[in-house]
Amino acid sequence: MHEKPYRSIVKTISWRVLGTLDTILISYFITGSLSMAASIGAIELVTKMILYYYHERAWNKSSFGIIKKDPEYQI
């Protein structure tokens, strides 16, 4: 199986939206400041999308944990 780069981009964005909402919520509970929580969330949104994209692409190049099936031959 081979994934196209745009699939990794869409997965990156959807995961980061969820992750950023989580970070903002945790930051708000810790700081008590919505503006501080939003600032923390905005910074990590950008940095973690970039990190996730390259992490995902690196894993796509790895064969770790992948079982290759023998092709089926028809006579």
The one-digit pLDDT tens for each residue of the chain (75 residues) are 677 888 878 887 888 889 999 999 999 999 999 999 999 999 998 898 888 889 888 988 888 888 877 777 777
Residue 65 region by backbone torsions, left for phi larger than 0, else alpha for psi between -120 and 50, else beta: left
Residue 66: inside a domain, yes or no? no
Q: Which of 14, 4, 24, 23 is nearest to 52 (CA)?
A: 14
Residue 75: inside a domain, yes or no? no
Look up the domain containing 28 and give its range: 5-60
Residue 71: inside a domain, yes or no? no
Could you write out the DSSP letters of every residue in the chain? ----HHHHHHHHHHHHHHHHHHHHHHHHHHH--HHHHHHHHHHHHHHHHHHHHHHHHHHHH--TT-PPPPPP---
Q: How many domains are contained in the chain?
A: 1
pLDDT at 16: 83
Residue 15: inside a domain, yes or no? yes
